Chains A and B, each alone.
Chain A
């Protein structure tokens, strides 16, 4: 297989498979499941050569594919990956397999459509990470909204309509301003190529406008403090698999967007307005952490914890500018943000899967309905506690790596930033462990709990794979950091040169 078309294969195979599954019709649910699993496995296998053949010594785009799609607008079908995008693509293919497995039994209605929507979603997300053409990026970025809209809306909980519409309108509203910004940049530079866009000279005022346009799109997606309210609703209503993909991958697209667009295209504005983003991130880390503590619904709690953890990502990204000014270790900040994104991809996925396991058996997500689960589900209890610990940033798990790197670099920038950010280690532990304490330990709460059955082999497999990933990344994060090092250096070079 030629490595030239690897990225295209990763994008188009799931789409083709999705159409194939749709054609199976509603009767052949079993086949739809198998077919979807096979397709997602093929994608996972295809992403192995992506990792293996990746050249860590260059920041240039690799596996590049380019052909002119709409010449009159200079829109190209231009794909490529660097050290920042590649780990996220592998994360996507990896998590997709697990989500499809996790939805194996739960989804009984319109299985073929569910699986097709998931594969579409996978393709769009991989597309977002590969796109080197801003318009192509935008198309993938928006196109993933429709499958997600349907996943929450068709297979979601009782209040799903409200949640989906809110999710859609928020994200759509954020991203259209990015569209205007992209068109404006096209007018300035005559190109939609993201790398070339970074080279367009812009005055500070222009940069500030563009910064806010991009900021709206990505802040909603990641989501940051004042525009985060869609996320808890969407998570609560989404089916387990939807929550997993939303938390594990879709949120990362916001962080990826900051790294890919905001930083290189508007470096001066990002530096000027860094205080704003840092403030919002710290609010997210502390205030949202407090909100997470009082949640009664497990899914809501994990959703808020996600927002709080994403605060670390934005903190790490935007603290880089202060570190450049002060001569601190900028690498650590950005790599910490990336490590946090990947690690959160595993941990949040695992936690949502754990809640899904409980919900499938008890049909409630309220913490107060549980208690003493460990007595009937010992294996599950072990996993749940482990993932809650890693969510709290226990050293040795992946949750620790990113948080610690960001806190360390925050320390170099400003003591109080680091102080506030470090509080989360306490808050995170508080809400995660308190939830686990109430759900897993204690007296057996009710008759229903005492009749629970422990996790099946399929569920054990999913959770075990994730636990291995969390441990591996926590004990030896070097392979991940190593892959992105050169690309991060390149990014730092780009953002340390003022455009004004």
Chain B
């Protein structure tokens, strides 16, 4: 039985659900090509959800874990922090995507409705406390993403990548469910803390380990970690940039939460087993992501491979115990912020009938627009992990956690490939600054998009001032799991 008071921790989800439905309806009736109303509604919904999250965060004793709906749903410190980060990123996504959809003449209300449903799925993934809830959240994100990837329906590439994404995603979901059922068979429950307790009591966990392998396959697929990364480049490239913007940022945070809930919270009893697998996946992702990115001349594809390597770095943090989890959390949040800025830049540089997809489209950006070249420089340098930008600090905390556990070789490999990776980032900087421009198109994006993007890029420097508090949030979040 639950009353209204018990619903308050789930209020943000309810608000997003209501907003999604409202936007869906509004989209039907609004004939306006500009669709400012839809964007505004979405933004207001997210802002309200943020207020609700902040309120329930402060209302309850912030470090107390609130489990509701018969143990299916949890509100805790980590969830709150991750949700706040996701709201932030979604605001960026909404604003950048508006620009893109207008340019391509595919502005439809469904786009925002789908994104909001995706956001709902993300929030459920963050707050799920039962394998089934987690799975529902995951599928909600996945289904919205499939549709969003295919959104540019007259574009064959968009459709092809959606098809690929869908088929591979369905297989991965199947694997995940199969693994979950094994764990259920071994422990007799799907609830996170009960699984953890059951594993702690049992002597022989062979079946759970068997299930774990499949669960990890599913998680790695959703994260886009090697060797389950095959979909990432194709989908990133084929999808409309507005969609890539979305799937490269917020769902990664959800996938992190998903991995924490499953690996750290429910399967903590077999940590020795999953750490070995995660170590291999992490290192493979770093190697494959960086090596393949070297070859790309399409910037969306390049970012896709760089995502793979970033995910590898984030997974490396899972080897570092509690310090490592909070390092990973910091890593994934800052990465999402960089990624959204990177794709935002592609959108801003595109204009009607032209998409800045190739690296060569960035040629001589410094001459065309020095300010945005500088912004892109900040974003790229942060992605590459050059000091003093935020990307460096996030790599530093992960490396520290890993070295702390004695994984010197892994840290060494990660660092060597970070150097190799710096090469393709440098290539972009080189293109922007050293090459002569071959088009002198003005940047036509609206003032709002430009200023928000500048803000987003400057965050790569500005966050440096807030690093202590963000890091301590992460430590608190993981400590109160």
**Footprint of B on A, CB under 8 Å?**
22, 25-26, 68-73, 110, 113, 135, 138-143, 145-146, 149-150, 153-154, 160-161, 164-165, 168-169, 172-173, 176-177, 179-180, 183-184, 186-187
> Across the interface, do A71 and B468 meet the contact criterion of CB distance under 8 Å?
yes
Within 8 A of A (CB), among B410-429: 411-412, 415-416, 418-419, 422-423, 426, 429
- Beta-carbon contact of A72 and B433 below 8 Å: no
Q: Tell me whether A153 and B430 are in contact (CB under 8 A).
A: yes
In-complex Cβ contact of B419 among A153, A173, A187 (8 A): A173
**B415–A165 CB distance below 8 A:** no
Residues of B participating in the A interface, judged by any CB pair closer than 8 Å? 366-367, 370, 374, 377, 381, 386-388, 392-393, 396-397, 399-400, 403-404, 408, 411-412, 415-416, 418-419, 422-423, 426, 429-430, 433-434, 467-468, 471-472, 475
A143 touches B388 (CB 8 A): yes
Nearest A residue to B378 by beta-carbon distance? A146
Q: How far is the CB of A164 from chain B (nearest CB, A)?
A: 7
Instruction: Name which residue of chain B comes closest to A173, CB basis.
Output: B419
How far apart are the CA atoms of A71 and B374 in the complex, in Å?
Answer: 30
Tell me whether A160 and B434 are in contact in the complex, defined as CB-CB below 8 angstroms, given that A110-B366, A180-B399, A180-B412 are known contacts. Answer: yes
Q: Would B429 and A149 count as touching, CB distance under 8 A?
A: yes
Given the known inter-chain contacts A72-B468, A143-B386, please indicate yes or no for A183 contacting B400, CB distance below 8 A.
yes
Which chain A residues lie closer than 8 Å to B472 at the CB level?
71-72
Majority DSSP secondary structure for residues of A touching B: helix
Using A110-B366, A113-B370, A153-B434 as known contacts, say yes or no to A165 and B467 having CB atoms under 8 A apart: no
How far, in whole Å, are A165 and B419 apart by their CA atoms in the complex? 12
Nearest B residue to A154 by beta-carbon distance? B433
A-B contact pairs, 9 of them (CB 8 A): A70-B468, A71-B472, A146-B381, A153-B430, A154-B366, A164-B434, A165-B426, A169-B423, A187-B403
Residue of chain A at shortest CB distance from B471: A72
The answer for the CA separation of A183 and B408 in the assembled complex, in Å, is: 10
A180–B396 Cα distance when bound, in Å, is 9
Task: Check B434–A139 contact: CB distance below 8 A.
Answer: no
**Selected contact of B415 from candidates A160, A169, A176, CB within 8 Å:** A176
CB-based contact A145/B419 at 8 Å? no
**B370 near A186 (CB under 8 angstroms)?**
no
CA distance A237 to B33 in the complex (A): 52
How long is the Cα–Cα vector from A152 to B408 in the complex, in angstroms? 35
Measured in the bound complex, the distance between the Cα atoms of B377 and A153 in whole Å is 14
Q: Which residue of A lies closest to B412 (CB)?
A: A180
* Residues from chain B with Cβ under 8 Å of A154 in the complex: 366, 433-434
B393: A residues at CB distance < 8 A: 70
A-B CB proximity, top 4 nearest? A139-B387, A142-B387, A72-B471, A176-B415
Known A-B contacts A73-B471, A142-B386, A143-B388; A179 and B422 likewise in contact (beta carbons under 8 Å): no
- Residue pair B426, A168 in contact (C-beta under 8 Å): yes
Known A179-B415, A180-B411: A26·B370 in contact at CB below 8 Å: yes
Across the two chains, which residue of chain B brings its CB closest to A153?
B434
**When the two chains form their complex, are residues B399 and A179 in contact, meaning their CB atoms are under 8 A apart?**
yes
Which of A143, A153, A172 interacts with B433 by CB under 8 Å? A153
Dominant SS at the B interface?
Answer: helix
- Return chain A residues, CB-CB under 8 Å to B416: 173, 176
Nearest CB of chain B from residue A23's CB, rounded to whole Å: 10
Q: How far is the CA of A18 from the CA of B418 in the complex (A)?
A: 29
A contact residues around B397 at 8 Å (CB)? 73
Q: How far is the CA of A25 from the CA of B374 in the complex (A)?
A: 13
Residues on the B chain within 8 Å of A146, using CB: 377, 381, 386
Are the C-beta atoms of A165 and B471 separated by less than 8 Å?
A: no
B423–A165 touching, CB < 8 Å = yes
Q: Considering the complex, give the chain B residue whose CB is closest to the CB of A68.
A: B468
Contact B422 A169 (CB under 8 A): yes
What chain A residues lie within 8 Å of B396 (beta carbons)?
Answer: 73, 135, 179, 183
Apart from A69-B468, A180-B399, A183-B396, 8 more pairs, CB < 8 Å: A140-B387, A141-B387, A143-B387, A145-B386, A153-B434, A160-B434, A169-B423, A179-B415
Rounded to whole Å, the gap between the CB of B459 and the closest CB of chain A is 17
Let me know if B426 and A183 touch, CB within 8 A. no
Once bound together, how far apart are the Cα atoms of A328 and B168, in whole Å? 72
A168: B residues at CB distance < 8 A: 422, 426
Q: Is the CB of B404 within 8 A of A139?
A: no
Complex-state Cα separation, A172 to B422, whole angstroms: 9
Whole-angstrom distance between the alpha carbons of A154 and B364 in the complex? 10
Q: Which residue of A lies closest to B326 (CB)?
A: A72
Q: How far is the CA of A69 from the CA of B468 in the complex (A)?
A: 7
Bound-state Cα–Cα, A173 to B423, Å:
11
Chain B nearest Cβ from A138, distance in angstroms: 7
Query: Counting chain B CB atoms within 10 Å of each CB, which of A22, A160, A168 scores highest?
Result: A168
B326 CB, nearest partner CB in chain A, Å: 9
Q: Which residues of A contact B415 (CB under 8 A)?
A: 176-177, 179-180
Q: How far is the CB of B211 from chain A (nearest CB, A)?
A: 35
CB–CB B430/A161 < 8 A: yes
A113 to B374, CA, bound (A): 10
Pick from A26, A153, A160, A179 the residue with the most CB of B within 10 Å: A179
Q: How far is the CA of A184 from the CA of B418 in the complex (A)?
A: 18
**Docked-complex contact B475 and A72, CB < 8 angstroms:** yes
> Which residues of chain A are near B370, meaning CB under 8 Å?
22, 25-26, 110, 113
When C-beta atoms are compared, the residue in chain A nearest to B323 turns out to be A72
Measured in the bound complex, the distance between the Cα atoms of B469 and A68 in whole Å is 12
B436 → chain A, closest Cβ, in Å?
11
Determine the chain A residues whose CB is within 8 A of the CB of B367 once the complex forms.
110
A209 and chain B: residue at smallest CB distance: B408
Closest CB-CB distance, A74 to chain B, in whole Å?
10
Given A73-B397, A153-B430, A154-B366: A139 touches B403 (CB 8 Å cut-off): no
B465 nearest CB neighbor, chain A only: A69
**C-alpha gap A141/B388 in the complex (Å):** 10
The interface residues of chain B lying within 8 Å CB-to-CB of A177 are 412, 415
Q: Are B434 and A187 in contact (CB under 8 A)?
A: no
List of A residues within 8 angstroms of B377 by Cβ? 146
Chain A residues positioned under 8 Å from B408 (CB to CB) = 180, 184
Q: How far is the CA of A186 from the CA of B404 in the complex (A)?
A: 9
> Which of chain B's residues has its CB closest to A26's CB?
B370
In the complex, chain B residues whose CB is within 8 Å of the CB of A70: 393, 467-468, 471
A145 to B387, CA, bound (A): 10
Residues of B within 8 A of A143 (CB): 386-388
A138 to B433, CA, bound (A): 25
B411 partner residues in chain A, CB cutoff 8 A: 180, 183
A187 to B399, CA, bound (A): 11
Q: A187 to B408, alpha carbons, bound, how many Å?
A: 12
Chain A, Cβ-Cβ closest to B395: A179
- State the CA gap A160–B436 with chains docked (Å): 14
Q: In the assembled complex, which residues on chain A have CB atoms less than 8 Å from the CB atom of B475?
A: 72
What residues of chain B lie closer than 8 Å to A187, measured between beta carbons?
400, 403-404
